[in-house]
Amino acid sequence: MDKLRLIAGVDEVGRGPLAGPVVAAAVILDPSKPIEGLADSKKLSEKKREALMPLIIENTRWGLGIVDERKIDEVNILNASLLAMQQAVAELEVTADHVLVDGHICPEFPCTAEAIIKGDDSVPAIQAASILAKVTRDNIMCFFDLKYPEYGFAKNKGYPTQQHRLALLEHGITPLHRLSFKPVQDALNRAAVDPPETVQ
């Protein structure tokens, strides 16, 4: 791997869900170990993402940043996403010389960086980061589905599907829910009038 110019791709997953963390990944590809099939995680099937995950872990330098729902409520989802990106870069086992971030906003890093709109369509390192972040977050939500099966987290991953919204109204909130998000606030307001049993 070129030690003179280490370029990390960074992407995050989980801005839109009503529950669970936002997860970012940073990946430095090794030109001597190419990974076939990289693409934006949203354009890959679950099976394909899971097949690529071990290849990314084994053949790249990578780091993860995970910011939980309480921190999201404290600093807002945009700032939480930027914080997760910073954590991911900090977790790299080597120091990146330059960072490429998917999107239009860069947090501060200890190196140069640039934001690339739709970078997950064109930059392989960002694509790898997208897959790593997506699979990691999906696995977290599948784990919590075992504890809170009423909400369908294994299927909806915390996004505001109809099933998830109805479960909020019927069962109340869990510790995973983002209190600063309007559908969760609406469920809390309704609960104040007609209280469901809050899930612990």
* pLDDT tens, position by position, 157-170: 999 999 999 999 99
Q: Which residue has the tokens 């099939």?
A: 37
At 200 the pLDDT is 53
**H-helix or E-strand containing 137?**
helix 124-147
Q: Look at residue 13 in the predicted model and tell me its pLDDT.
A: 98
pLDDT at 171: 93
Name the residue with tokens 């053949």: 59
Tokens at 137, concatenated = 């977050």
How does pLDDT run along the chain (200 residues), one tens digit per residue? Answer: 444 589 999 999 999 999 999 999 999 999 999 999 999 999 999 999 999 999 999 999 999 999 999 999 999 999 999 999 999 999 999 999 999 999 999 999 999 999 999 999 999 999 999 999 999 999 999 999 999 999 999 999 999 999 999 999 999 999 999 999 999 999 988 766 565 554 55
As a whole number of angstroms, the distance between CA 17 and CA 157 comes to 7
Check if the beta carbon of residue 27 is closer than 8 Å to that of residue 161. no
Count of other CB atoms within 10 angstroms of residue 74 = 12
State the pTM of this model.
0.92
Distance separating alpha carbons of residues 14 and 75, to the nearest angstrom: 15
Helix (H) or strand (E) holding 189: helix 182-193
- In 3-state terms, what secondary structure has residue 176? coil
